[in-house]
Structure 1
Amino acid sequence: MIQTASMVLRTGTKLLTAAIGEGAPRDARILMAHTLGVEMDRLTLELSRTVTPTQVAQFEHMIHRRAAHTPISHITGKRAFWKHEFRVTPDVLDPRPETETLIELAMQGAAPETILDLGTGSGCILACLLAEYPDANGTGTDISADALTVAAQNLEKVGASDRASLVQSDWFDGVSGRFDLIVSNPPYITEAEMARLSPDVREHEPHLALTPGGDGLSAYRTLAANLGAHLAPNGRAFFEIGKDQGPDVQRIFADQGFESVSIHTDLNGHQRIVAVNFP
């Protein structure tokens, strides 16, 4: 039976809607665009195309994976973030749009010469910053060797491999020197909140990148205790936080002697970034 992309998409959308509800039509369109090898903004123009049995099988397999709550980025292997498209695997946190707030804030100050990204994961934050600052050099750390492999691929995608060093390290362990700009999106979800996460996140993303357990603040205690030894004079630091953690994280840094600590919101009005200036 000859089938068009539109026919196959319609069937897949119905199946996916029954499984996950809201968001299914958009997810199905993303998967069809991926199947056809076209950009999303061209998909409508391609829906009259005849699809091969191989393409039908590929699309149906992806629909069933998404119906089982596998994240779209893990199915397609990519995620758009800032001005780029990055490789994503189950070994790294899926980049979220709200994390772009960190990039925006980091770009409001003087151009840094040195950048440190702690817990770099996919490397998307470091890659974006190095792409924006072509004269800067960067270091990314992560405790996961598999994550660093993904980060290396993403740094290469933006042409920044020659200006970046990746270190397998637990936060500041193995890091020497001072940096003009220090950034991190650390694990901050509390142990209690983990049970309430969607299956897409809870069952498919690395728990080490999501939660430190307990009150979710242990990473900030480590960052605050070591930041002064690694932030250059007039340097700046930006750390992503959970939407209700601003005052607690602000207090943690203040207790370490940092006087200039501010909280910034994302586009949804949620507390998202704590900014720290050199004491």
Structure 2
Amino acid sequence: MSNAGELLRTSTLPQLEARVLLMHVLGWRRTELITRDHEALPSDAIASFEALAARRLAGEPIAQLTGKREFFGLDFEVTPDVLIPRPETELLVELALAAIARTPGARVLDLGTGTGAIAVSIAHARDDARVWAVDRSSAALEVARSNAANILEASRAGGALTFVESDWTAKLDASLAFEAIVSNPPYIASDDPHLEQGDLRFEPRGALTDDADGLSAIRAIIERAPRLLAPNGVLWLEHGYDQAQAVRALLTARGFAEVRSMHDLAGIERCSGGMLAA
């Protein structure tokens, strides 16, 4: 029988990916790959690792193979029904938390919640917050509900979360007024070749592209948001690396004040937003 060290040395995967898959199969921590690397492994564990490695070599995302992805320091369940949470989207959480920092019981709306990563992270960080998580996909909402239950119950803390199946704001109570609205909508243009490359091939197309110019969902959200924002409430949107100027123009045309874009850790203008003037 093989041991962990041999499997890693002979794997054709990048070593980081091989280690992640092997830890997943064995249920080991990273340190155990070092301290237990000479232990003989059960044949079923070897077979499971090799099957996952083959699927990864065929292009399937690591997050879907392991069923989880870390986001904002929390572990989220991931399935093929949802967009895989990415580090750059953590900026939206930071912007939302900054916007509600001085508002007890703040209300936050996450449009297109997917895994619930944004909504759950905000609720986890602010146990007094009231967060609404909206998605048109019932399958995505099932994943988001599961993540909320696992993460918030495990911490025994977290703000109140309400899940709504809706096409953007269509089924939201019109009397609601939010201090912050955030969204990571589908913003990739339909003709972008990246849609046929890498992990994107395995993620739900509707979470990636609007099947148009990449701005139609953003336009719809900017148009509807003022009706649901409290005075001085803010709207923040994630967008593509080359869309910041266009999104700022849309926000300004809709009457938002203090319109600006924020850079992610790679130095890319990743999120743009503004305030609804009182």
Is residue 2:136 matched to residue 1:143?
A: yes
Amino acid at match of 2:202: H
Can you give the 5+ residue segments of structure 2 that lack an aligned partner in the other structure? Answer: none
Say which SS state the counterpart of residue 159 (structure 1) adopts: helix
| Aligned 1:50-69 pairs, distance under 5 A | 50-69=40-59
The TM-score normalised by the length of structure 2 is 0.92
Q: CA offsets, 1:203-252, max 9 Å, x none?
A: 20000000002210001110111111001112122110111100101111
Q: CA offsets, 1:65-93, max 9 Å, x none?
A: 10110000100000011110000000000
Question: What is the match of residue 242 of structure 1?
Answer: 240
Is residue 2:92 matched to residue 1:102?
A: yes
Question: What is the match of residue 187 of structure 2?
Answer: 188
Amino acid at match of 1:8: L
TM-superposed deviation, 1:196? 3.0
Amino acid at match of 2:164: V
User: Whole-Å Cα distance in 2 between the matches of residues 134 and 162 of structure 1?
Assistant: 4
User: Whole-Å Cα distance in 1 between the matches of residues 242 and 21 of structure 2?
Assistant: 34
Question: What is the match of residue 4 of structure 2?
Answer: 5
TM-superposed deviation, 1:162? 7.5
User: Whole-Å Cα distance in 1 between the matches of residues 201 and 42 of structure 2?
Assistant: 33
The TM-score normalised by the length of structure 1 is 0.92
TM-superposed deviation, 1:198? 5.6
Q: Cα RMSD (Å) of the superposition?
A: 1.5
User: Whole-Å Cα distance in 1 between the matches of residues 93 and 68 of structure 2?
Assistant: 19
Is residue 2:165 matched to residue 1:168?
A: yes
| Aligned 1:91-130 pairs, distance under 5 A | 91-111=81-101, 112=103, 113-130=106-123
Amino acid at match of 2:117: C
User: Whole-Å Cα distance in 1 between the matches of residues 32 and 236 of structure 2?
Assistant: 37
Is residue 2:71 matched to residue 1:81?
A: yes
Say which SS state the counterpart of residue 50 (structure 1) adopts: coil
User: Whole-Å Cα distance in 1 between the matches of residues 205 and 195 of structure 2?
Assistant: 11
User: Whole-Å Cα distance in 1 between the matches of residues 99 and 257 of structure 2?
Assistant: 18
Question: What is the match of residue 21 of structure 1?
Answer: none
Amino acid at match of 2:81: D
TM-superposed deviation, 1:8? 1.6
1:93–1:41 CA distance, 2 compared to 1 (3 A): farther
User: Whole-Å Cα distance in 1 between the matches of residues 159 and 71 of structure 2?
Assistant: 21
Q: CA offsets, 1:98-154, max 9 Å, x none?
A: 111112222223335211100000000000000011001111111100000000011
Amino acid at match of 1:224: I
Amino acid at match of 1:257: G
Matched positions, count:
268
1:275 to 250, 273, 276: 273
1:260 to 233, 258, 264: 258
TM-superposed deviation, 1:278? 1.6
Is residue 2:39 matched to residue 1:49?
A: yes
User: Whole-Å Cα distance in 2 between the matches of residues 213 and 197 of structure 1?
Assistant: 11
2:202 to 204, 214, 228: 204
